[in-house]
Amino acid sequence: MPESEMQKAAGVRSRLKDKHRKSLYQAERFLDHDTRCRIGLRVPCQIYVLELFMADDPGGGLQDVDLRWEPSLGDGPTSARLAVIDHDGDSGVLQPPARWNEEAFSFQTDDGSPVTPETPSCFRQVNAWATVQRVLEYYEDHLGRPIPWGFDGNRLIIVPQAGFDQNAFYDRRSKSLLLCCYGDRQAPRYTCLSHDIITHETGHALLDGIRPHFLETSSWETAAFHEFIGDMTAILLAFRNNDVRGHLEKTFGVELERADFLHGVAEEFGIHVTHRPFLRTALNRITFEQAQRVRESHLCSQVLTGAMFDILMGIARQYLSPERQAERKSPATPGKALWWAADRMGRTALQPLDLLPPADVRFLDYARAVLRNDEIQDPEDRHGYRKLMSKVFHERGFCPRGCESYRAKGCLLSPPKAPRLDIFHDIAEASRSRTAAYHLVHDNRKQLGIPPERDFVITDLYDSDKTAPGAERMPRQVVIEYLWREDVKLEEERFGSLQGEMVHLLCGGTLVFEDRGNLRWWTAKPGSGSPEGEQRRTELLDYIAWLVKQGRIGSKDDTPAAVVAHRAGGALHLETSLRLCGGIEK
């Protein structure tokens, strides 16, 4: 917001009584963005969005952002969902927190000075908090609902100086985002100042809240999917920056794919740790078949990241096509096309997360969900975006059959056929109670492929209020997830020290209803007794044997490994580690 507008907003805030602003806070969702800023419902902050080595001066790479104001906003910063604790993991020193000054409507240092890059400790705290808060708001806006964390509790702890380590990671057990420093100990570099790293790790934390069982090791694809979401989050948030798009347009014109700095993740960190300009890249031609031979999650994630980046760039190019340009009074610039494409891509990439199974997600599950979500939102597909998506997914090998369209007979990308439920329940009642949702699923066991002897649980139940292109409100969706576990014994010598242990095959499904009770989507992970379930069991055993052979399984007390093993409920639980440089892969 320009300084003159900020002064006007300050004047409006000063005339509003506290009780009036709290009343407006309750009605925030009915107000437009400009009104929220003017009446003090948005907090202005500055954050880094470009890696520090790219900046020409100490203030370079900064972006002005505004975030939701809350009556409980406090020092730290601390908000309803986040709390910054600046504890140095090596020295044990707890840094003084950035102070929230409600009257000044800004964060300040202990002596009352404004928080800027010249006040490094407080700036690191505010930068980390504001970046995470921005990602949280971005996800919740696109998914049309509040997103829980994947742990007991409502605040994610952000540690901006978690110790000296070439890493940064989300850790469910400590309920925290641990952002380490690296490089020269006398002049360290901080991952809490890297926009890409923070957004990537926040993507992990949010996906863990959306689908907590994705952390349980079930396949290399599920582990890679977590890394894809981290990278996709970083890319989408980067494209929201005006300076990033302006630099791209000025430097590369319409040759959008040449902008390496945009599709690279964490450049400065990558150069220091891996001697490459980025840890992973979205500009690649890796296929599913190639990834299947590698199995390492960080590398395999590039298949999905590359596919979605291809779609993003395809949409941007479509906005620049002569046909679309002719529809406008003035031609669109590459920067404007990128803004529109990234805006649509937020819905395209994130909204399908609600359509995924509760566990053992595969790349094909996500590709199907992307196509189906787009069908629900834009049935006509006037601009051919689904044709583009289908083409990209086929090129990446998600369906190796070479079909012309995902709707062609036999195409693996075709959405699964939804069952016809025998016994109907009031969807409004089911949306309010897990017990009522359980009865709906239980009464349709046969149609949903749930064995009669298996006890299952409703792992999540929520509704959402999403928007389609053009900010059109979609019918409310009610999502029901159910899951059961089947024991699988590791009986062969190939499991090494794990031989004789019991692990779980996670089975279940996701039902998506519209508010009138029509079933719009169903996806399932069947268990034993079905051909697909037996195939899943075989793949689980093969993947665990591969992890053992590669030495990638450790305990939570060991040196960080790709997969952490711990015992609970009479079985061995294998959990994927979410480190930016994962364990032995460093």
Q: pLDDT at position 280, please?
A: 55
CA angle 39, 41, 42 (to 5 degrees): 110
- Average pLDDT rounded to a whole number, residues 104-125: 94
- The pLDDT of residue 202: 96
Query: How many Å from the N-terminal Cα to the C-terminal Cα in the chain?
Result: 41
Mean pLDDT, residues 172-200 taken together = 90
Q: Which two structure tokens, joined as six digits, stand for 15?
A: 């005339």
Helices 220-238, 297-319: inter-axial angle, 10-degree rounding: 40
pLDDT band, very low/low/confident/very high, at 238 (cuts 50, 70, 90): confident
Contact indicator for 464, 470 with CB cutoff of 8 Å: no
- Which residues neighbour 344 within 8 Å (Cβ) at sequence distance 6 or greater? 315, 385, 469
Q: What is the pLDDT of residue 405?
A: 84
pLDDT (0 to 100) of residue 110: 93
- Give the number of other CB atoms < 10 A from CB of residue 497: 10
- Tens of pLDDT, residues 510-546: 999 998 899 999 999 999 889 999 999 999 999 999 9
Count CB neighbours of 556 within 10 A.
12
- From residue 368, give the alpha-carbon distance in Å to each of 346, 355, 523: 17, 9, 10
Nearest-angstrom CA–CA distance, 198 and 155: 16
Over residues 54-64, the mean pLDDT reads 60
Question: What does the pLDDT read at residue 286?
Answer: 92
Task: For residues 559 and 554, give the distance between their C-alpha atoms in angstroms, rounded to a whole number.
Answer: 7
Dihedral sign for Cα atoms in the order 152, 156, 160, 165: positive
Taking residues 383-401, report their average pLDDT. Answer: 93
- Residue 540, judged by CB atoms within 10 A of its CB (0-12, 13-18, 19+), counts as buried
In SS3 terms, 501-559 reads as CEEEEEEEEEEEEECCCCEEEEEEECCCCCHHHHHHHHHHHHHHHHHHHHCCEEECCCC
Question: Using the 8-state DSSP alphabet, how is residue 151 labeled?
Answer: S
Where does residue 400 rank: exposed (0-12), middle (13-18), buried (19+ CB within 10 A)? exposed
* Higher local confidence (pLDDT), 492 or 296: 492
pTM of the full structure: 0.92
Residue-wise pLDDT for 347-384, tens only, equals 999 999 999 999 999 999 999 999 999 999 989 998 89
> What is the share, in percent, of the chain residues with pLDDT greater than 90?
58
Give dist(CA 334, CA 198) in Å, integer: 27
583 versus 113: the higher-pLDDT residue is 113
- The pLDDT score that the predictor gives to residue 386 is 94
CA distances to 222, 451, 526, 549, 562 from 542, rounded to whole Å, are: 15, 25, 18, 11, 16
DSSP letter, residue 332: P
CA 160 from chain centre, in angstroms, equals 20
568 backbone dihedrals φ, ψ, rounded to 5°: -160, 135
- How is domain 41-193 classified at the CATH fold level? Elastase; domain 1 (3.10.170)
Q: Which residue, 217, 179, 218, 216, is CA-closest to 199? A: 179
Cα–Cα distances (Å) from 373 to 14, 473, 476, in that order, read: 45, 14, 13
**Residue 29 contacts residue 4 (beta carbons within 8 Å):** no
Please state, for a pLDDT cut of 70, what percent of the chain lies above it: 88
**pLDDT reported for residue 325:** 83
Q: Which of the residue ranges 90-99, 104-113, 270-279, 378-387 would you say has the lowest mean pLDDT?
A: 270-279
Which of the 8 DSSP states describes residue 118? T
| Partners of residue 514 on adjacent β-strands | 477
Domain 215-395: state its class: mainly alpha
Tell me the sheet residues that pair with 568. Answer: 571
Give yes or no for a cis peptide into 352 (omega within 30° of 0).
no
Mean pLDDT of 544-568: 83
At residue 560, does pLDDT exceed 70? Answer: no
CA distance linking residue 466 with residue 437, whole number of Å: 21
Length of the chain: 586
Task: For residue 166, count CB atoms less than 10 angstroms from its CB and return exposed for 0-12, middle for 13-18, buried for 19 or more.
Answer: middle
Which residues lie closer than 8 Å to 110 by C-beta, 6 or more apart?
Answer: 96, 99
Q: List C-alpha distances in Å: 106 to 110, 113, 382, 445.
A: 13, 10, 46, 55
pLDDT score, position 114:
94
Chain mean position to CA 64: 23
Left (φ > 0), alpha (ψ -120 to 50) or beta: where does 202 sit?
alpha
Query: Do the domains at 41-193 and 215-395 have one common CATH topology?
Result: no
Every domain of the chain and the residues it spans: 41-193, 215-395, 427-550
pLDDT value of residue 555: 74
In this structure, are residues 477 and 491 in contact, taking their beta carbons and an 8 Å threshold?
no
